[in-house]
Structure 1
Amino acid sequence: MTPIEKTIISLDWMTIALFMSLVVLALGKYLYHKKFLNFIILPFNDKYILLHNKKGQFSHWFHLLLTLFQLINLSLFLFLIMKSFALLPKEGSLITYFIILGFIALFELTKFLLQMFTGFVFNNLELVSGLIFSKISYLNYSSIITCIANVLLIYITTDSKTTIYVAFALILIINAIGIAKLLKNYQKALFPYFMYFILYLCALEIAPLVLIGSYLKG
């Protein structure tokens, strides 16, 4: 019988990461209960976007807490995907998680700054801010799915590719709803720049998801 080496990754730090993210979400719900109630029905009702899409929305603590919740869970979800597809190094799993977390945070921050700079250059900062806030809000909402998927992948359906694919599909659906509603709400303002908007979606929004999906399929 040939012995098979099996790397066991500690669940302790993943449990802590999940717990911290839930604390962040609970803190947002406790401190900003009305905002949270509007946020939790976001895919079915645009009240959250319409009420809170105003100057200073990006620096509001509720938005920052939700974004932190998203970063923690999205990074953990990507880590678990790598683990399920045997793409992780044998050691340094916590370090790998922090690398993923840092990369995603840097990517989102860089994209945000580039988008705001573009809005400033074309003297359309208010419109661009509204678009960005809408997209980030739906991305933050989809992090609820990643949180549930993380719990399943860590404790119940360990390394289940089915769980990953279902979660990934739900994330795509939620963000697709966000884009559809965004187009509906801003159709008059976006019409003169429709081609640029489509190019933007393909380059910065859809392309990363397609690359991830192709990578998982391969």
Structure 2
Amino acid sequence: MEPIEKTIVSLDWMTIMLFTSLVVLALGKYLFHKKFLNFIILPFNDKYILLHNKKGQFSHWFHLLLTVFQLVNLSFFIFLILHSFDLVSQDSTLTNYLIILGFLALFELVKFLIQMFTAFVFNNLSLISSFVFSKISYLNYSSIIICVANILLIYISNDSKTIIYTALALIFLINGIGLTKLLKNHQKTLPPYFLYFILYLCALEIAPLVLIGSYLKG
């Protein structure tokens, strides 16, 4: 049996995309330095959430830049995981990445619109907006870890399962901290909407993960 070497044909487009995402992050830091300083300590201090969780927070340029950074790197991370476990074709890697990026961007946009529509229907826009902003902020913070993992997986240790599992553990840890702090901060306002909150978690947070997991398993 001859060994089969798993290689990625070209790193040029990967380098360009990663460099572009880092430029976006640097631009956010340069244009909104104070916000960035509050953001970078997010898991240890809720100052960023408390100061910027207000009307118009989703359309602020700093939030949008970080979301773009998150989309590019999270798509990369998903692509590299699929590549490492031989779940995607080894050909047309750029095409595969762009498909993942487009699907992820569409998924997050549709999910956000459904969340806001649900909040409007049940007249709890303020609570759900606060929850969504906090969740996206922690996901955006996780993208820094994801970016580091992407660099390691592409340039240093290709297809390393250790890097993938370590990055996933850190991502879940960071977002777990965010969820815990969110529930703690809203423990007095949440009870009247507890049923809606459970339905929200089941329909918009847990269900998509179950469906994606079932698809990958199949």
SS at match of 2:196: helix
- What displacement does 1:168 show? 0.5
- What displacement does 1:107 show? 0.6
Q: In 1, Cα distance between the equivalents of 2:101 and 2:24? A: 16
Q: In 2, Cα distance between the equivalents of 1:140 and 1:125? A: 22
Aligned to 1:90: 90
Q: Which consecutive segments of 4 or more residues in structure 1 shift more than 4 A?
A: 1-7, 207-218
- More off after superposition, 4-13 vs 20-29: 4-13
Q: Does 1:18 align with 2:18?
A: yes
Aligned to 1:56: 56
Aligned to 1:173: 173
CA RMSD between the two structures: 2.1
- What displacement does 1:198 show? 2.8
Structure 1 residues 37-65: Cα deviation after superposition (integer angstroms, max 9, x where no partner)? 00000000000000001111111000000
Give structure 1 stretches of 5+ with no counterpart.
Answer: none
Q: In 2, Cα distance between the equivalents of 1:37 and 1:171? A: 20
**Kept in 1: contact 2:83–2:90 (CA 8 A):** no
Give structure 2 stretches of 5+ with no counterpart.
Answer: none
Q: Does 1:32 align with 2:32?
A: yes
Structure 1 segment 100-111 matched on structure 2, within 5 A: 100-111=100-111
SS at match of 1:193: helix
One-letter amino acid of the counterpart of residue 140, structure 1: N
| TM-score, L = length of structure 1 | 0.92
- What displacement does 1:189 show? 1.5
Aligned to 1:137: 137
Aligned to 2:79: 79
| TM-score, L = length of structure 2 | 0.92
Structure 1 segment 135-214 matched on structure 2, within 5 A: 135-209=135-209
Structure 1 residues 110-165: Cα deviation after superposition (integer angstroms, max 9, x where no partner)? 01000100111112212211111111000100001110100010011110011101
One-letter amino acid of the counterpart of residue 126, structure 1: S
Distance change in 2, residues 1:73/1:80 (3 Å)? same
SS at match of 1:163: helix
**Kept in 1: contact 2:73–2:147 (CA 8 A):** yes
Give identity over the alignment, percent.
78
Distance change in 2, residues 1:174/1:217 (3 Å)? farther
- What displacement does 1:210 show? 5.8
